[in-house]
Amino acid sequence: IDPSPVRTKFPTARIKRIMQADEEVGKVAQQTPIAVGKALELFMVQLVRKSAEVAKEKNSKRITAPMLKQAIGSASQWDFLDDIVAKVGEEKEGG
């Protein structure tokens, strides 16, 4: 089988193991972890860009957890992350 021409920055073997850790997931086709890895990359790019916008608005060169939380809260497409970031504190002024 020819290797996929699609490259991903995430290890496909690890993605496959994570997918198969779910008892409801049976066999995973060879291209599936590659597609999931690419989707993960695109997701990360969007999230990092939005977080960078928040950091820039706060005149910061560093993205902090509260900034990430603010970025997640700014778009309904990321509502599924609300529980994950719920315990992140708010940014202190000047911090």
pLDDT tens over the chain, length 95 residues: 456 666 788 999 999 999 999 989 888 999 999 999 999 999 999 999 999 999 999 999 999 999 999 999 999 999 999 999 998 877 665 44
29/27 Cα distance (integer angstroms): 7
User: How far apart are the C-alpha atoms of 18 and 2, rounded to whole Å?
Assistant: 23
Rounded Cα gap, residues 23 and 48, in angstroms? 31
CA separation for the pair 93, 33 (Å, rounded) = 42
E strand map for the chain: none
Distance CA 55, CA 62 (A): 7
Q: Which domains does the chain have, with CATH numbers?
A: 12-85 (1.10.20.10)
